[in-house]
């Protein structure tokens, strides 16, 4: 496909937008915009989470069933995810892309739990 067709009038803006929106996961454009995270699907993130949970369960089992005189076992390292730095607790939170900056001032405020009064007002 020649992108000059859009300039020449042979390709509509709507068709071009649809083509760009539905680019394959391994396209150069998505790789440039999102880096390694563009190659990870939801299934990949879920599988990494399963591996982490299984290694934690094995660590807990081994810790509970070890001799009291032995040294404590090292906590298992999580599977590295895109966007996380090695050795910095490569959890899912670090792997998710950061949200686009918002112009509203309330978006910049840190999230907090509602108070009991606010909950009563909400549900009444």
Q: Which of 40, 30, 52, 43 is nearest to 95 (CA)?
A: 40
Per-residue pLDDT at 58:
94
Per-residue pLDDT at 114:
64
Per-residue pLDDT at 56:
93
pTM: 0.49
Burial class (CB in 10 A: 0-12, 13-18, 19+), 81: buried
| pLDDT, block means (10 residues), the chain with 124 residues | 85 90 83 79 91 94 86 90 63 43 52 67 70
CB 83 within 8 A of CB 94: yes
**DSSP classification of residue 68:** T
- What does the alpha-carbon distance between residue 52 and residue 16 come to, in Å, rounded to a whole number? 41
Per-residue pLDDT at 102:
47
């Amino acid at each position: 496909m020649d992108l000059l067709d859009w300039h020449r009038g042979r390709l509509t803006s709507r068709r071009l937008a649809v083509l760009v929106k539905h680019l394959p996961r391994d396209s150069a454009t998505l790789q440039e915009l999102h880096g390694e995270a563009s190659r990870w699907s939801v299934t990949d993130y879920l599988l990494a989470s399963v591996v982490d949970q299984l290694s934690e369960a094995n660590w807990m089992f081994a810790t509970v069933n070890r001799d009291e005189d032995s040294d404590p076992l090292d906590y298992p390292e999580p599977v590295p995810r895109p966007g996380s730095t090695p050795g910095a607790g490569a959890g899912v939170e670090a792997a998710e892309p950061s949200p686009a900056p918002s112009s509203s001032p309330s978006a910049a405020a840190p999230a907090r739990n509602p108070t009991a009064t606010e909950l009563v007002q909400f549900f009444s």
